Amino acid sequence: ATGLNAIAKSKGKLYFGSATDNPELTDTAYVKILSDNTMFGQITPGNSMKWDATEPARGQFSWTGADQIANLAKGNGQLLRGHNCVWYSQLPSWVSSGNFDSATLTSIIQTHCSTLVGRYKGEVYSWDVVNEPFNDDGTWRTDVFYNTLGTNYVNIALQAARTADPAAKLYINDYNIEGPSAKTTSMMNLVKSLKAANVPLDGIGLQGHFIVGELPQGIEDNLRAFTALGVEVAITELDIRMTLPSTAALLAQQSKDYQTVISACQAVEGCVGVTIWDYTDKYSWVPQTFSGQGAACPWDQNLVEKPAFQGIVNGF
Ligand code: XIL
C-alpha cells in the first residue's frame, strides 16, 4: 500500500486524514487526491461547520457548506471529524456581543450544539465540541462563554453534544498542548475534573501546528499521559511551517519532523489517528495567518508530494 490511510490502518490506527474547505472543491485535481480513501480515510471541514457558518443569526441555521463536506465524506467512504461547536473565534457577533445572562447563553449553547451535532447524527466519528479553551499560559480564555458561565460552559456543550449524538466521540481540541507546557497541565487538569464529575468526554485533540525544526520535546510521552487519564487522543490539525522561501534543507528537516509526529502517535495505542490541516500548500491557511511563512503541508502548490510525504510513511 502507498496510500497514507492504508498504511495507517495496516499499522493499527483508525485513520489518516486531511482538512478541506468548500471553495477548494471546484478543483478537480485536488478533489481526486482528497477523495482517495486509501490516501485519506477521514476529512475535517476547515471552516464550514463553525458557528459563523452554521448559525449566523440566532436560530437561523445554514447547512450548505457543512452538508457538502459531510456528503463528500459519505460518498468517499471516509470518517468525518466535526469541527467545531464552541470556539471564541469565527463566532458571530450576535453571540459574542449579545450581553446574554447565564441562563440565556446556556440555552444558546445547548441549541447550537444539539442542532449542529444532531444534524450529522450517525455520520461523525468525533466532534471538537470545545475548541481552544486555554491561553498559552494555561489560564482560561476570557471569551464570552467563560466570562458569562465560567468553566461550566464546557460541561454544557459536552452534555448537549452527547445527547444529540450518543455515538460520536466528544473532544476538546487545542494547540500548544503537544508537549509539556502550562497549557498542557491545564488541559490535563480539565480532563481529570470532567472525568471525576462524569461529564461526557472521549478525547483530546492536539492540533499540531508546528514550525520546522522546533517541535516540542516529548510528544509521545505527552500523548500517553493524556491517554492515562481515560481519553483517546488524536493529532487533529497537523502542519509544519517554515519561513519562506523553502530550501532543500528545510524540506528535509520538515520530513523528519513529520516523521517524528507520526511515530509519536504510532507508538501510543490510544492515539487513534492523524489529520493534516489540508494536504497541499495550495490551500494551506498558513501564509494568510503567519506572515512570511508557508510550505507547511506534505504536498506542494502543484499537488506534488514533498519529502514530508515519505516522512509520514516512515513514521508509521
Ligand atoms: C483556520 C482555517 O483553516 C482558515 O481558513 C480560517 O481562516 C481560520 O481558521 N485552529 C483551528 C482551526 O482550530 O479552526 C483553524 O482553521 C486553524 C487553527
Please write the tens of the pLDDT for every residue from 275-314: 999 999 999 999 999 999 999 999 999 999 999 999 999 9
Mean pLDDT in the chain? 98
Mean pLDDT value across residues 208-217: 98
Residue identified by cell 504510532 is 266
Determine the pLDDT at residue 168: 98
**In the chain, where the domains are located:** 4-315
Please write the tens of the pLDDT for every residue from 112-136: 999 999 999 999 999 999 999 999 9
Ligand 1 pocket, residue 285 CB under 6 Å? yes
Of all protein residues, whose CA lies closest to atom 15 belonging to ligand 1? Answer: 46
Of all protein residues, whose CA lies closest to atom 14 belonging to ligand 1? Answer: 46
DSSP characters over 183-223? HHHHHHHHHHHHHHTT----EEEE--EEETT-PPS-HHHHH
Q: Does domain 4-315 have CATH number 3.30.70.20?
A: no
Please write the tens of the pLDDT for every residue from 54-101: 999 999 999 999 999 999 999 999 999 999 999 999 999 999 999 999
Ligand 1 pocket, residue 205 CB under 6 Å? no
Determine the pLDDT at residue 287: 98
Ligand 1 pocket, residue 46 CB under 6 Å? yes
For residue 82, the one-letter residue type is: G
Please write the tens of the pLDDT for every residue from 95-108: 999 999 999 999 99
Judge whether 43 and 34 are in contact, CB under 8 Å: yes
Report how far residue 39's alpha carbon sits from residue 60's, in angstroms, rounded to the nearest whole number: 36
At 2, the pLDDT band (50, 70, 90 cuts) reads confident
Determine the pLDDT at residue 3: 97
Quote the ligand 1 centre to 285 CA distance (angstroms).
7
Complex ipTM value: 0.99
Report how far residue 267's alpha carbon sits from residue 223's, in angstroms, rounded to the nearest whole number: 9
Determine the pLDDT at residue 151: 98
Report how far residue 128's alpha carbon sits from residue 2's, in angstroms, rounded to the nearest whole number: 29
Please write the tens of the pLDDT for every residue from 156-207: 999 999 999 999 999 999 999 999 999 999 999 999 999 999 999 999 999 9
Mean pLDDT value across residues 4-9: 98
Would you say residue 1 has pLDDT above 70? no
CA angle 66, 18, 85 (to 5 degrees): 40
Active-site residue set: 237
Determine the pLDDT at residue 117: 99
